[in-house]
Amino acid sequence: MARFTDLLSEKSKENWPEIYWQLTGKKWIPPKKDKRGICLEARLEDVEEIGRMMRKPGRGAWHE
């Protein structure tokens, strides 16, 4: 998964250290390692499958 700075245009990448300095007062040091500890994997269900799941008893307050 891309980091914020990976998604910047080439011109924005050139300007990012100055912008970072203005926002934080700190020098920008590119991370050497990806520190993200959370990974999300999503899957999309078919609309019909969602309908079947919602009609099952116990699937929400409207069934009580």
Higher pLDDT, 25 or 61: 25
User: What is the chain's mean pLDDT, rounded?
Assistant: 82
pLDDT score recorded for residue 26:
95
Contact between 10 and 41 (Cβ < 8 Å): no
Cβ-contact 54, 60 below 8 angstroms? yes
Q: What is the pLDDT of residue 55?
A: 86
Q: DSSP states of the chain as a string?
A: ---GGGGS-HHHHHHHHHHHHHHHSS-----SS----------PPPHHHHHHHHHSTTSSGGG-
pLDDT band of residue 64 (cuts 50, 70, 90) is very low
For the full predicted model, state whether its pTM sits above 0.75. Answer: no
